[in-house]
Structure 1
Amino acid sequence: MPSGSLSVRNGTFSSQSVRPRSPIHASDNASTVKATSTGESTRDTGMIGKRRKSFLLLGALFAFSAGCLYLLFQSFPDLAESDKQHVHVPRTLDDAKELGRVLSMYTDTHFPQVVVGYACVYVFLQAFAIPGSIFLSVLSGYLFPFPLALFLVCLCSACGASACYLLSYLVLGSEFVSQYLPSKIEYWKAQISHYGWVELLSTLVFLRITPFLPNWSINIASPVIGFPLSIFFLGTFIGVAPPSALAVMSGTQLYELTSATELLTLRAVGLIGLIAVMALMPMAFKRLLGSRVTEQRDLQD
């Protein structure tokens, strides 16, 4: 009797032969597992290679931009040896004071060079998400008239943020950004998927005014979640104006400031909060108007 097992059918016992598993089937399963692991390994290798190329390209762009800044400053007028040590990106309020003292001696005689140099450094910091632009905003109020200083800060912020936007879109890519900011990316994709240009602009202006999200994360994530570059530029230009205006006004009294915390007084925080709420009013008004129109159509039907 062939080897098998007993089973019950209609109250009687019957034997069923159990065939051993074919080695061919086992080989097929092993091949499938091997192919799957090979495919995953190839995909991971491709991602690592793509990521490496992105970082190399980003490093090359950074080095090229830094080299251009160096050549630009080489064309500036000669500085005294005692002043050269103060010409760098300010990290503290004291650095901003020393840099303002040095640049103020050249503003009258070399005004175009000072403006161009200031703008290029500001855009460079914003494009590569390097800290220090807040002190440059304060410094502009000390070096330039208020209207020019505010316009310059807003324009440089918008240009630098747009450069960071393009670096994220063209160099890093959506896969890289989504991997490192998965929760935020998915959340904002869901939020703005049904927005029109009014809602997009109001949202971006609100985010720029308020400190809920770091500016660098907004710059990097915006192309991935679907913000058009034109709206991104305009929203940044408008959104940075209120906090920048406070920084510029503080710069007119630069040497009277003793700490960076003096920039954020209770009155200033309240004013920024009020402007942030006003930034959302166009979106709220459009939604309210849309709901009223929908109600009128329902009543007519």
Structure 2
Amino acid sequence: MAAPRNLTPKDEEKAEMDSPAAKKLKSERYPLSRWGLAVALGSFLVFSAALYCIYSKMLASHFKNIKLPRSLTDLRMLKNHLGSYAKGHPAQFILGYCSTYIFMQTFMIPGTVFLSLLAGALFGVVKGLVLVVFNATAGATTCFFLSKLIGRPLVCWMWPEKLKLFQSQVAKQREKLLNYMIFLRITPTLPNIFINLASPIVDVPFHVFLSATLIGLVPSSYIMVRAGLALGDLKSVKDLYDFKTLTVLFFIGSLSVLPILLKRKRTYQ
């Protein structure tokens, strides 16, 4: 029997780093691999470069004063500043607006609620609603595919228990999955960011995800666009989702799962 080889401190350190426990700890600290991080960073840089090219085409006097609104005060200033530009250069403004919204939705950057309010303030209910629903759906779609590519370790790291619950519910509602996904989109049961990231991981088909997003975002988008018309009277973003509004959203959402409940009732009878 061969005598055990003496390990140097360097070898011992390497063996310890390669142990299963060390690898698990490393994955908990850094959920994305180098390849995943490279894809995420590369996508972010490509989107950022495209966004900069779009904004650089705008008039210099308007471009230098543009910033993402972080409060209602910022939003009112932005509305006053961009109102004349939106009327004089509608195509360029809509291109910049859509690109910004999709960029923020794709990379989970907070603030799309302010852009939804801005759409109502500048374009009214009908045009504003079309813009918001289109951009929110497009941004959710790009987020879906990005998560499908590299999102699994990130979602498992951020929301492990919520992901398990979502996966079990999707499996239970597989026959009426579209109704269930519409319900989630309409109601604030789960954050939209989580739904965008987790859906490809729990095997929600893309056509179901797309249809549910397109339909389910209409009620909440309508509320925000309508609120944008009275931007001067709005005191806080929290006022958008008071008890009455939440009750209406849950009522509308319950209509989408009504076929599921009726089917279960017939089964038990």
Cα deviation 1:105-137 (Å, max 9, x = unaligned):
112210111111111111111100010000111
Instruction: Specify the code of the residue in structure 1 equivalent to 2:55.
Output: F
1:89 Cα deviation from its structure 2 partner: 1.3
Q: Name the counterpart of 1:272.
A: 249
| Gaps in structure 2 of 5+ consecutive residues | 5-14
Match of 1:222 among 171, 178, 199: 199
| Greater Cα offset, 260-269 or 236-245 | 260-269
CA contact (8 A) 2:108 2:193 kept: yes
| Greater Cα offset, 38-47 or 93-102 | 38-47
Percent identity, aligned pairs only, is 30
1:227 Cα deviation from its structure 2 partner: 0.7
Q: Which has the higher contact order (CA 8 A, sep 6+)?
A: 2
TM-score, structure 2 length as denominator?
Answer: 0.84
> Structure 2 CA distance, aligned partners of 1:93 and 1:106?
20
1:188 Cα deviation from its structure 2 partner: 2.1
Q: Could you say what secondary structure the match of 1:186 adopts?
A: helix
TM-score, structure 1 length as denominator?
Answer: 0.76
CA contact (8 A) 2:47 2:103 kept: yes
Instruction: Rate the CA distance shift 1:38–1:253 in 2: closer, same or farther, 3 A.
Output: closer
Match of 1:90 among 44, 47, 69: 69
Q: Name the counterpart of 1:109.
A: 88
Q: CA RMSD in A?
A: 2.9
1:136-215 → structure 2 map (5 Å cutoff): 136-172=115-151, 174-196=152-174, 199-215=176-192
Q: Name the counterpart of 1:64.
A: 46
Q: Number of aligned pairs?
A: 257
1:64 Cα deviation from its structure 2 partner: 1.3
Match of 2:59 among 77, 81, 99: 77
Q: Could you say what secondary structure the match of 1:258 adopts?
A: coil
Cα deviation 1:180-237 (Å, max 9, x = unaligned):
432222222222224345x211221221222222211111111111111111111111
Instruction: Rate the CA distance shift 1:108–1:46 in 2: closer, same or farther, 3 A.
Output: same
CA contact (8 A) 1:150 1:248 kept: yes
Larger Rg: 1
Cα deviation 1:7-59 (Å, max 9, x = unaligned):
xxxxxxxxxxxxxxxx68x98xxxxxxx9x96748976996796122112201
Instruction: Specify the code of the residue in structure 2 equivalent to 1:185.
Output: L
Matching of residue 131 in structure 1 with residue 126 in structure 2: no
